[in-house]
Every structure is written in structure tokens, then in C-alpha cells.
């Protein structure tokens, strides 16, 4: 404490100068309208810049919560869109079936819900690739559920713990997804056998069908894992080989698997009923 007083005593002249300087500036800006206006204009500018910087810092640290909120909102909107598309399909089928005296109530209603999740682990360079999500059984996730993004199909849930889920990626040698060409509703199967994380092969399109570069490939809805019409990719190469009865087709995948951050886990409320019907019918199938 004694050293502090000694230090202040040594610089007393400078401190007095600062005090008088501050007092003179105060009197100047208070008694002179021009200087007063200039002072407040300058102070407002710098205060505004400081507040703007503070706001940007707060926004940066709030990005995670903002992303979670947006993902949840997008999930709700996607569910509403699926229900709207289903109603449109029911109306179309109803007009047809009424003319043949078939009740539309007999049609199975595919009711889908979407759960947002964050990707915490992902592989793309292996023969069999997987993802890990930050939601599990406590969030309602079960094995067999589909996984998508706003861009397209990602994969299917393989195993679930209380807080996490492992997903078999579309970039997996055993993954098969039932798809169709949007232009003419031709059905086929997507399989990842290109070893390129941005492409896959479209199989079982017969030579009698018309396939063109740029054709859109979407999910067929078969099996109920994915809603019908979810984007898968676009045709970038079509080849006709003499020793084959099907086209050799390469598809540019819609999802950039190397940049996955947030996904949606898709639940079909009637999936258990569909699966039990398959078992009763002796139908077995892999990822669809």
C-alpha cells in the first residue's frame, strides 16, 4: 500500500493534468452546441460498433442452439409436407377407386414423423461406412428407421443405445434402396458399388426403358422405410452393354456425405404392421 501511495505521489502532476483536461473537455462540449453534437455523434458510432461486435460474438456462441431449433422446425415442416402429399395422393386414388367401387379406407396410411439429429461420427472412405447420431432410444429411435437430410437419402438405423444410434450409410456395400425415375416412374435399386462417395449405381433398369442423363432418381416408398419421392440423385452416365439385359447407370448422389452435420430420422408409424405382414408372407429383404 505504501508503494502505491509513493507511485501516485510521483505521477501527481500527470494525474492533475488528466483531471484538468477532462474537466476542460467536459465544459467545452457542454457549453458548445457544435462540439456537443460532434461528441455524441462520435460516441454513438463507437458505442454502436462495440455493441455490434458484442452481438456478433453472442450470435456465434448461440449457433448450436439456433441450429437445433431450425432442425426441429424443419422436421415439423417436413412431417406436415409428407401429410399434405399423402392427402393429395388419397384424393387422387379416391377419385379413381370410387369409380370402381373400392373403398379408399382400405389403403394403408403411411404416417411419417421426423426427428432431427446431429452427426457426431461419419466415415466415407471404407467399403462399409457408418454414421453415429446423438439421439437414441430415449428419443424414440429404433433399428430399421430411415435417415435422410433435406438433400436426400443418408441411410438406415442399424443399432441404438439410450443416447446414440449407429446408421448404416448409403455408402455401404450391403445397402439397397428401392428407387424410381421421377420422369417415367421406372423402378430400380440403388447400390453403392462405385467406391466413390459421391456416386452410386442404379440397377435393374431394363433396356426397353428410356433413361437419359439428368433424370432424377427418388425413393419409391416401397417397404415404408422412406417416404416416396425423397431425392437420391441424378443420372450422370448411361451405358448399354451387349452382354447385359439391364442398363449400366451411374447416379450422382444428392447428399454430400463428407459434409454431413444434421440429419432426420424417419419413423413410419405403421412400420411394425408392415414388417409383421412381411414375416407372415415369408418376404425377406435387406435395406430398402
**Least confident residue range of 46-60, 115-129, 270-284:** 46-60
Name the β-bridge partners of 133: 119, 165
Domain 114-288 fold is: Thrombin, subunit H (2.40.10)
Q: Grid coordinates representing 74?
A: 424443419
Q: Grid coordinates representing 226?
A: 422412406
| pLDDT at 213 (0 to 100) | 96
| pLDDT at 40 (0 to 100) | 52
| Tens of pLDDT, residues 153-197 | 999 999 999 999 999 999 999 999 999 999 999 999 999 999 999
Name the β-bridge partners of 177: 190
| pLDDT at 273 (0 to 100) | 75
Global pTM reads 0.67
Residue 8 has pLDDT above 50, yes or no: yes
Q: What is the mean pLDDT of residues 60-81?
A: 63
105, 97 in Cβ contact below 8 A? no
H or E element at residue 55 = helix 33-61
Q: What is the mean pLDDT of the chain?
A: 79
Q: Where in the chain is the domain with CATH 2.40.10.340?
A: 114-288
Under the banding of pLDDT at 50, 70 and 90, the label for residue 105 is very low
SS3 state of residue 166 = strand
Amino acid at each position: 500500500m505504501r508503494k502505491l501511495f509513493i507511485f501516485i505521489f510521483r505521477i501527481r502532476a500527470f494525474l492533475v493534468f488528466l483531471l484538468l483536461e477532462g474537466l476542460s473537455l467536459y465544459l467545452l462540449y457542454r457549453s458548445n452546441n457544435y462540439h456537443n453534437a460532434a461528441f455524441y455523434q462520435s460516441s454513438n458510432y463507437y458505442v454502436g460498433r462495440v455493441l455490434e461486435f458484442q452481438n456478433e460474438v453472442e450470435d456465434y456462441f448461440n449457433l448450436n442452439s439456433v441450429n437445433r431449433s431450425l432442425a426441429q422446425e424443419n422436421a415439423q415442416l417436413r412431417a406436415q409436407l409428407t401429410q399434405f402429399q399423402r392427402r393429395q395422393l388419397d384424393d387422387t386414388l379416391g377419385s379413381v377407386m370410387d369409380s370402381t367401387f373400392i373403398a379408399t379406407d382400405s389403403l394403408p396410411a403411411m404416417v411419417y414423423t421426423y426427428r432431427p439429429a446431429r452427426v457426431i461420427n461419419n466415415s466415407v472412405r471404407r467399403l462399409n461406412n457408418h454414421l453415429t447420431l446423438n439421439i437414441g432410444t430415449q428419443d424414440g429411435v429404433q433399428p430399421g428407421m430411415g435417415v435422410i437430410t433435406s438433400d436426400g437419402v443418408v441411410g438406415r438405423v442399424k443399432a441404438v443405445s439410450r443416447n446414440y444410434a449407429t446408421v448404416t450409410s448409403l455408402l455401404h456395400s450391403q445397402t439397397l434402396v428401392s428407387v424410381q425415375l421421377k420422369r417415367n416412374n421406372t423402378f430400380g435399386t440403388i447400390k453403392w458399388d462405385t467406391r466413390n462417395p459421391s456416386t452410386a449405381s442404379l440397377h435393374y433398369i431394363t433396356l426397353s426403358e428410356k433413361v437419359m442423363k439428368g433424370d432424377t432418381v427418388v425413393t419409391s416408398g416401397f417397404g415404408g422405410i422412406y417416404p416416396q419421392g425423397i431425392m437420391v440423385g441424378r443420372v450422370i452416365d448411361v451405358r448399354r452393354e451387349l452382354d447385359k439385359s439391364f442398363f449400366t447407370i451411374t447416379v450422382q448422389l444428392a447428399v454430400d456425405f463428407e459434409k454431413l452435420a444434421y440429419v432426420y430420422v424417419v419413423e413410419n408409424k405403421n412400420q411394425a404392421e408392415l414388417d409383421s405382414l412381411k414375416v407372415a408372407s415369408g418376404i425377406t429383404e435387406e435395406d430398402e
